[in-house]
Amino acid sequence: MDYGGNEEGAERQRKIVKIVDNYLLSLQKPKEFRSNQENNYLNQKDLAFEEMVALMEEMGVRNPKKLSVFEFQQRIEHYRKKKKSNNKG
């Protein structure tokens, strides 16, 4: 990058980019990722998936764990739209 030959300006820009970058990365971090904690991020995701699988089975989807990611997401979207339209009428 050209900062007009001003090394001080270039260093200042690098520091600003690093601060912003660190801030944006911190927003993506799960609150609790340690595996020794009962309520960690991975356990929460696993539980949410299992709950969704149970709901899909209750709705008549056979073997929802064998669906592709696309198929799984499409079933979820279908049920969301269905619920939304049922709530309107």
Task: Centre a 10 Å sphere on the Cβ of residue 56 and count the other Cβ atoms it contains.
Answer: 19
The answer to whether the beta carbons of residues 65 and 53 sit under 8 Å apart is yes
Question: pTM of whole model > 0.85?
Answer: no
Q: Over its length of 89 residues, how does the chain's per-residue pLDDT go in tens digits?
A: 455 557 887 888 888 888 888 777 777 666 655 666 677 778 888 888 999 999 889 988 899 999 999 999 998 898 889 888 888 76
Return left, alpha or beta for 62; rule: phi > 0 is left, psi -120 to 50 is alpha, else beta.
beta
